[in-house]
Structure 1
Amino acid sequence: MTTTSEAIVGFENETAELIHQLVWGPKHLDVVALVGMPGIGKTTMAKRLYTHKDIISRFDVCSWCTISQVYSKRRTLLELLGNSDPLNDNTRSNDELADELRRHLLRKKYFIVIDDLWSTKVWDDLKRCFPDDYSGSRIILTTRQDKIASDTEVFSAPRHLRLFTDEESWCLLQKKVFGEESCPPELDVVGVQIAQSCGGLPLAIILVAGVPAKLDKDEVRWEEVAHGLRSFIAGDKQKYMDIINLSYRLLPGHLTNGFLFFGKHFDNDLLV
């Protein structure tokens, strides 16, 4: 897990509140669950916290692991121990690794991220590795499931991430399309319409932004994108799959293979 981070759009107030909670919260070990639908920004929020200067400077140990649907205890333990090549470490048993992790964290103020947790059984399997010696240690969990969030609650209530506001949506779309440049004034109105059509889901905004980013900065072409998206505004969660499909269909032919490859390997919660 890198210790640097690009600028991230949205959730500024939520980030400030979480940093204060993590740094100035109770002395005992606390677990904070970030909960929300796929693509809403759970992993990005966790990355923002993990790389924040106040976290880096105030915690003795910072470790990150990603669980996903296929759980490997060995891989997870080695990730948390900072092994850069976990699959090639066969010298220790899982129990030995778990004991080593616990000893590594004992009497230290640690900050752990467990990303994309799908099962409380995984948490039950790992939690004995995290000692509570009242040093103010913290664990961040990201999950899609409310039950997991409630079952892992220690002190702090789970944090349910919200959808983006229209302003945040437009800001993210501009950043993805134009980078540090300004949006031409003639594209402002249609650009806002495109951003609003994504329903506040950051993943949808990023995918949609890939279309105008590859098109001429032309109002007519952008209107075509906006028109294709308008019919999805009032839909349910299926609209996000429709948006992804539309993004694919609107791309020029030579870019579709890249889009499919990107989609195959895309982190559902990436914002940056």
Structure 2
Amino acid sequence: MANIDLEMFMEKLRRLLYENDNDTWIRNINPYIEAKKPEIQLLYEELAYLIGSSCFKEQLHDLGNWKTRLIQAAQEAEDMVDMFVSSAIIKTNYRGLYQASMSTHRSLGFRKKKLLDCSLKDLKGVMDHLKSIREEITSNKNLVKQDMMMDTGFEATGTTVNLSATEHEEYIVGFDDDVLLIIDRLTGYRKKLDIISIVGMGGLGKTTLATKIFGDSLVEYYFDMRGWITVSQEYSKRDLLVQLLVSIGRSVHETASESKLYEMVYQSLKGRRYLIVIDDVWSCKAWDDVRLCFPDDNIGSRVLVTTRLAEVAGHASRGGFTHNLGLLTEEQSWELLCRKTFRGHECPESLTETGKHIATKCGGLPLALVVIAGLLEKGERRKDLWEKIAERVGSYVINDPKGCLDTLALSYDHLPLHLKKCFLYVGIFPEDYIIQVQTLIRLWMAEGFIKEAGQRSLEEEGEYHLMDLIDRNLLIVADKRSNGGIKSCRLHDLLRELCLKKADEETFFQKVSREQRRLLFTSNRNLDSDSVSSIVKQRRLSAAPDVLCNIYLHGFTTYTRSVLCFDYGGFSEYRTTNWVPSFLLLRVLDLLNIPLVDSSDIRMLVHLRYLAVWSRKESLSLKFDLRSLQTFIAKGKFQWPILSFGNMVMAHIVIW
């Protein structure tokens, strides 16, 4: 994700150079930025190329914290540019506020020299930091190339075939209808070769379902030959062909060429009614690499594909049958949990209510139910212990040592760079939150995650991003519009846990916990606490308003760019003057769940792109000039006219 931060940095420089000519203070620093722009542009292009290069992508992990350093350096550079702009605009247009904000800065340890000189020096330091990272990555790339040239005997001489597909699954719940439907399609009247796809999110049991079908007595009787290959994200065509030949009982000579293996597969299947399962397909290319192996002799042969990606399912089936595997119902979830926990025995009545609650918390995902059942089976069967587990089902599943997180994380790891931030951002919403699609897309726009492509607008491009995440089974459609479009969506609880874990690793956003709130209120301006420091240094915060006020007491932060307050926090009224001076670089401010009585300091937030507010008093005025604002949402009572547009160019205004 590092090059996204670099892109945003470069965009800031462009806007600084070409879109602020009316600000005298900014014009005075343009010669320095103009002189440095070619150097920074070249630096960005080289870094983006290195980061995107696949030939040594895996080896970059050996550089340790290079990625974190790169992101931090790019963010620091962006902060410097934004401070140029905000300080200039505030000084020019709001002199009283400028003096107050500069006084706050000085009292919190800012150097007394001019902000311009200070910022230019810091920007030069950031550029030097970026250069050192580039040189380190380039050096590592050269080492990798040398290693690859020396390692001429890299290819393994043997192939291990994944036999897990033929292992017996002791308990299968909720698949009866799916099994009957797919077997009926497999053994139906259609004589031409038929490609059938099973698609669904990770952990639903696609492989388990395919295994049950593969081993069904009717299927075994109907087909002359059955074979199974597992593709996964990383594969080689040769390995797939060897897997397939071994699974249908053919011996393979280790020196056989790839073309010879193709011919062996084709001839082995020719004239036979066959069923081949291709499990865990992650790309259309993987299907294309084996498609020509399958002869069509008009005798009812079938290929069964399992994938998490709707695009792959559609590409493979092409007019054939795609089966969307859904989540288990609450009844099915409880049945599976009981079977796995009690192994045929009845659940004690004293545990039934809590047990059903645990089953519901698994969100219909078989993988989660199996993990939790293993925990319940091994532990003491006490109601108080089960109640504790019920409170933290997602945490137990994500931290399962058997690799449950790895299974779910595969979908995240496979995302292209531009979708990773979009997906992680969804995790900032509360658990079980129904997310309005228009709101989500406009937040993505405000965060800078979406770039215009061709003739499509930013919002249209955001819709493509959304549908891509839905097709990858990472978002669930909650409601549709009358025209069939997506109105709202939601995130499965366990995928949200994954988001929270990844967001913590990436320092992407912080959902302030009760414990962190307590530390924030009791730390007496001491930022030595790692927990408190992690809040103050976050780019994005999901927090109650009292948290924002206490961050203000701890000091000014150039880190935070987004604040979303989903928690009402018991406030009957709220004043932004309590904390706005600490968050001058905000791009997103969502206070739609908190009633405001004063908002005058919002005018200082000159970088705001998204603003959502709620007022109970008609005297509240929002007459300010926020030139970057893209989306404005207002609920309740306001003094009219509600806005003074000035230099603002807004795409979306919503008044409730």
What interval of TM-score do these two structures reach, taking the shorter chain for normalisation?
A: 0.7 to 0.9
Report Cα offsets for 1:7-46 as digits up to 9, x if no partner: 4111211111111111114100000110111111111111
Instruction: Look at both structures and tell me which one has the larger radius of gyration over its CA atoms.
Output: 2
Which of 259, 272, 282 is equivalent to 1:118? 282
- Partner residue in 1 for 2:342: 178
* Residue from 265, 271, 279 that aligns with 1:107: 271
Residues 3, 51 of structure 1: 8 Å contact kept = no
Residue 508 of structure 2 corresponds to none
Distance in 2 of aligned mates of 1:195 and 1:162: 16
| Larger RCO, structures 1/2 (Cα 8 Å, 6+ apart) | 1
Aligned to 1:39: 203
> Does the 8 A contact of 1:4 with 1:51 survive in 2?
no
**Stretches of structure 2 lacking an aligned partner (at least 5 in a row):** 1-162, 396-429, 434-490, 502-656
Give the stretch that moved more between structures: 110-119 or 150-159.
150-159
Corresponding residue to 1:50 among 214, 223, 228: 214
- 2:283 equivalent to 1:130: no
Distance 1:158 1:230, change over 3 A: closer
Equivalent residue letter for 1:239? L
Q: Counterpart of 1:237?
A: 492
Decide which of 358, 377, 389 is 1:194's aligned counterpart: 358
d(CA) in 2 for partners of 1:118, 1:227? 34
Q: Hey, what's the Cα distance between the residues in 1 that align with 2:286 and 2:207?
A: 18
* Native 8 Å contact 2:171 2:340 kept in 1: no
Identical-residue share of aligned pairs (%): 37
Contact 1:30/1:154 (CA < 8 Å) preserved in 2?
no
C-alpha RMSD of matched pairs (Å): 2.6
Give the TM-score taking structure 2 as reference length. Answer: 0.35
Q: Which AA in structure 2 matches 1:183?
A: C
SS of aligned partner of 1:68: coil
1:228 Cα deviation from its structure 2 partner: 2.6
Contact 2:225 2:274 in 1 (8 A): yes
CA distance in 1, matches of 2:248, 2:181: 32
Residue 124 of structure 1 deviates from its aligned partner by 1.2
Count of aligned positions: 245
* Partner SS for 1:158: strand
Q: Which residue of structure 2 lines up, in the alignment, with residue 206 of structure 1?
A: 370
Matched, 1:8 2:263: no
* Structure 2: distance between partners of 1:222 and 1:79: 44
Distance of aligned partners of 1:94 and 1:19 in 2 relative to their CA distance in 1, 3 Å threshold: same
Supply the AA of the counterpart residue of 1:47. T
Shift in Å, 1:237: 3.3
Q: Which stretches in structure 1 are left out of the alignment for 5+ residues?
A: 247-272
CA displacement, residues 94-150 of structure 1 (integer Å, 9 cap, x when unaligned): 110110000000000000000011111111111110000011011010111111111
Structure 2 residue aligned with 1:254: none
Tell me by how many angstroms 1:194 deviates.
0.2
Q: Is the 8 A contact 2:340 2:373 kept in 1?
A: yes
5-14 or 113-122, which deviates more: 5-14
Over 3 Å counting, the alpha-carbon distance change for 1:224 and 1:32 in structure 2 is same
1:222 partnered with 2:389: no
User: For 1:211 and 1:227, how far apart are their aligned partners in 2?
Assistant: 14
Distance in 2 between the 1:138 and 1:25 partners? 12
Does the 8 Å contact 1:28/1:137 carry over to 2?
Answer: yes
Counterpart-to-counterpart distance in 2, 1:15 and 1:145? 20
- SS state at 1:199 partner: coil
Give the 3 Å change call, closer, same or farther, for CA 85–241 of structure 1 in structure 2: farther
Cα contact 2:174–2:332 (8 A) shared by 1: yes
1:39-63 C-alpha deviation (Å, 9 max, x unpaired) = 1111111111111111111101100
